[in-house]
Structure 1
Amino acid sequence: MGLLNYSPNRTRVKICGLKTIHDVDAAVAAGVDAVGFVFYPKSPRAVSPQTAAALISRLPAGVDAVGLVVNATDAEFEAIRRVAPITLWQFHGDESPSECQGFAAGQPWIKAARVGADFPFADFSLQYRQADAFLLDALVEGYGGGGIPFDWSGIPEAWISANAHQVVLSGGLNVHNVGDAIARLHPCVVDVSSGVEISKGVKDHALMKEFIQAVRAADASTTS
């Protein structure tokens, strides 16, 4: 699993919501560290477990296959696990810590937080302390993928300093703002979906490449 291997000099990149072979191949060619597959039927980016399995078969060693679930039932979760070789789980709904632990069944997992005003960062990270990472997303209608950034200045400096090695930053990232996000917060991972799309659920391969180039440029600037 490479996505959550923290390095202060190399921000990992996850592109979420891929649906086609061409999208996956383009993401891999651009240098992605992980690809996210959405198993939330209400999302325009949703895929079936069978489709995800076919797409995951194209990933080279070292590129994580992240399974995003939202309040999935036992049956839905087992249907995914049965056919799709997910390497990392992302819980994006209202799952309790014990539910996350139980569903992950020993595999690494990320808990997403929808960050609004007065979000209780310390309580959240304490409650989900067994998570391998914390994903910070914007508080929007639905569960992620809204393309709306949240106010990063609202993240307590002490919290981000203590938890940067576990932070997956999401929520409205794009080619134009990801460099600023990395310079300010130094997260382990940046996670993009709508920011590399030409329409909801339709990825733009040029934007994916440009996004990863922007991340690498920010890393180089931070290092120097």
Structure 2
Amino acid sequence: MNQQRRTRVKVCGLTRVEDVDAAVASGADALGFVLWPGSKRAVDLEQLAALSARVPAFVTRVGLFVDQSAEAIADCAPHLDLLQFHGDESPTFCAAAPRPWIKALRMRDGIDLHAAAADYVGARALLLDAYKPGVPGGTGETFDWSRIPADLAKPIILAGGLTVANIAAAISAVRPFAVDVSGGVESSPGIKQAELMSGFLRSVMAVDERLTKRAY
């Protein structure tokens, strides 16, 4: 008999204290802070320190980096629990990170996820996002979820254009370990809406419950 499973939720691109509080209140498992200056949702080190201090125990603080220096990552690491490498970082670079890490992969044509899982063997999970040339993430676009192999040797974090409207279909199709939402719970880049975050979390819990009942 299958045991009940729960899809974890990461809310990414937080820039305001009130949004951190609302995300925690909604039940988010992880909060993402974008440390790449090229993003509309970027925060600097001072902002990261203030936002990170609001996060209670057992909620994971994730820092998103895109091809940044080891020094920049080390400066941010004291305020983070997990690192998310969202650029072209090599397995060797990631392995030297000062915190546990996940590797984001953009689902370009021809990508070999089995090979990537083997290459990034030290990753705690692989985050799969939509591919758009020249844009490392945050596209607000989905991709063909059927391209994800069911037997991938790493936990999957599903990202890319997720909203209340499509999260049930996404979880039903992929059964990921976790999902990552950013633009789908915003009024504008970096400005979250508490009701959208809570609605997203409720939708995730509802589909988990339905799938669990179906398995028994």
- For the superposition of Structure 1 and Structure 2, which TM-score range results when normalised by the shorter chain? over 0.9
Is 1:27–2:23 an aligned residue pair? yes
On the 8 A contact 1:8/1:188 being kept in 2, the answer is no
Identity among equivalent pairs (%): 46
Is 1:194–2:177 an aligned residue pair? no
Which deviates further from its counterpart, 213-222 or 197-206? 197-206
- 1:31-90 deviation per Cα after TM superposition (whole angstroms, max 9, x unaligned): 000000000101010001111111111111100000111111133223223xx4200010
TM-score when scaled to structure 1?
Answer: 0.90
In structure 1, C-alpha distance between the alignment counterparts of 2:150 and 2:59, rounded to whole Å: 31
Spell out structure 1 runs of 4+ moving beyond 4 A: none
Q: Structure 2: which 5+ residue stretches go unaligned?
A: none
Q: CA RMSD in A?
A: 1.4
Task: Give the structure 1 partner of residue 118 of structure 2.
Answer: 126
- 1:130-184 deviation per Cα after TM superposition (whole angstroms, max 9, x unaligned): 111000000023111110001101223333xx54xx1111011110111111112
Deviation at 1:8, TM superposition (A): 5.7
How do residues 3-82 of structure 1 correspond to structure 2 at under 5 angstroms? 9-81=5-77
Task: Give the structure 2 partner of residue 174 of structure 1.
Answer: 163
What is the aligned residue count? 210
Is 1:207–2:196 an aligned residue pair? yes
AA paired with 1:90? Q
Task: Give the structure 2 partner of residue 89 of structure 1.
Answer: 83
Q: Structure 1: which 5+ residue stretches go unaligned?
A: 1-6
Which deviates further from its counterpart, 192-201 or 129-138? 192-201
In structure 2, C-alpha distance between the alignment counterparts of 1:184 and 1:153, rounded to whole Å: 7
Is 1:108–2:100 an aligned residue pair? yes
TM-score when scaled to structure 2?
Answer: 0.93
> Counterpart of 2:79 in 1: which secondary structure?
coil
Q: Kindly tell me: are residues 69 and 8 of structure 1, through their superposed partners in 2, closer, same or farther at Cα, counting changes over 3 Å?
A: farther
> Counterpart of 1:135 in 2: which secondary structure?
strand
Task: Give the structure 2 partner of residue 3 of structure 1.
Answer: none
In structure 1, C-alpha distance between the alignment counterparts of 2:188 and 2:47, rounded to whole Å: 21
